[in-house]
Chains A and B, each alone.
Chain A
Amino acid sequence: MICERVRERIPECLTGSLDHAARESLLAHLETCPACRAELADLNAVWRGLGSLPEPEPDPAMRGRFLEVLEAYQAGRASGPGRQVMNLPHKWQAGLAFALLLVGVCLGRYVAEPRGASPDVARLQGQVESLRQLVTLSLLQEQSPSSRLRGVTYSYQMAQPDAQVEQALLYAVNHDSNVNVRLSAVDALEKYAANPRIRRALADAVPVQDSPLVQIALVDLLVQLNDKEAAPALRKLAQDAQADNQVRQHAAWAIQRMEVSQ
Chain B
Amino acid sequence: MDDEQVMLDVRAGDVGKLELLFDRHHRALFRYFLHLTANRAVSEDLVQEVFFRILKYRHTYQPGTRFCAWMFQVGRHVHVDHAVRHKAEVAMPERGWDVGSGELPPDRQAQNRQETALLRRALAAMPPEKREVIVMSRFLDLKYEEIASVLKCETGAVKVRVYRALRELSDRFFALCGERAS
B139, A56: Cβ atoms closer than 8 Å: no
Measured in the bound complex, the distance between the Cα atoms of B134 and A7 in whole Å is: 16
A180, B119: Cβ atoms closer than 8 Å: no
A17, B22: Cβ atoms closer than 8 Å: no
Which residue on chain B has the smallest CB distance to residue A149? B52
Given contacts A17-B143, A42-B170, A74-B16, contact A211 B27 (CB under 8 A): no
Residue-wise interface mask of A (38-55) relative to B, using a CB-CB cutoff of 8 A (1 in contact, 0 not): 000011011101111111
Given contacts A11-B137, A69-B52, contact A46 B169 (CB under 8 A): yes
A65, B27: Cβ atoms closer than 8 Å: no
Measured in the bound complex, the distance between the Cα atoms of B139 and A66 in whole Å is: 23
Does chain B have a CB within 8 A of A10? Answer: yes
Q: How far is the CB of A74 from chain B (nearest CB, A)?
A: 6
A70, B98: Cβ atoms closer than 8 Å: no
B134, A50: Cβ atoms closer than 8 Å: yes
A49, B163: Cβ atoms closer than 8 Å: no
Q: How many residues of A contact B (CB 8 A)?
A: 43
B152, A66: Cβ atoms closer than 8 Å: no
B56, A49: Cβ atoms closer than 8 Å: no
A1-49 interface with B by 8 A CB criterion: 7-12, 15, 17, 42-43, 45-47, 49
Q: How far is the CB of A55 from chain B (nearest CB, A)?
A: 6
Residue-wise interface mask of B (148-163) relative to A, using a CB-CB cutoff of 8 A (1 in contact, 0 not): 0000100000011011
Does chain A have a CB within 8 A of B66? Answer: no
B77, A212: Cβ atoms closer than 8 Å: yes
Residue-wise interface mask of A (237-253) relative to B, using a CB-CB cutoff of 8 A (1 in contact, 0 not): 00000000100000000
On chain B, the residues within 8 Å of A213 by CB distance are 53, 57, 77, 81
Measured in the bound complex, the distance between the Cα atoms of B21 and A66 in whole Å is: 12
On chain B, the residues within 8 Å of A8 by CB distance are 159-160, 163
A159-180 interface with B by 8 A CB criterion: 177, 179-180
On chain A, the residues within 8 Å of B26 by CB distance are 58, 62-63, 66
Does chain A have a CB within 8 A of B44? Answer: yes
Does chain A have a CB within 8 A of B36? Answer: no
Measured in the bound complex, the distance between the Cα atoms of B48 and A9 in whole Å is: 36
Q: What are the 10 tightest A-B residue pairs by CB atom distance, in nearest-first order?
A: A58-B30, A54-B97, A8-B163, A46-B170, A49-B119, A11-B162, A50-B138, A179-B81, A42-B170, A210-B84
Residues of A within 8 A of B (CB): 7-12, 15, 17, 42-43, 45-47, 49-59, 62-63, 65-67, 69-70, 73-74, 77, 177, 179-180, 183, 210-213, 245
User: Could you write out 17 A-B pairs with CB less than 8 Å apart?
Assistant: A7-B167, A15-B137, A17-B144, A43-B166, A46-B170, A50-B134, A55-B31, A58-B26, A58-B30, A59-B40, A59-B44, A66-B19, A74-B15, A177-B85, A180-B56, A210-B81, A213-B77
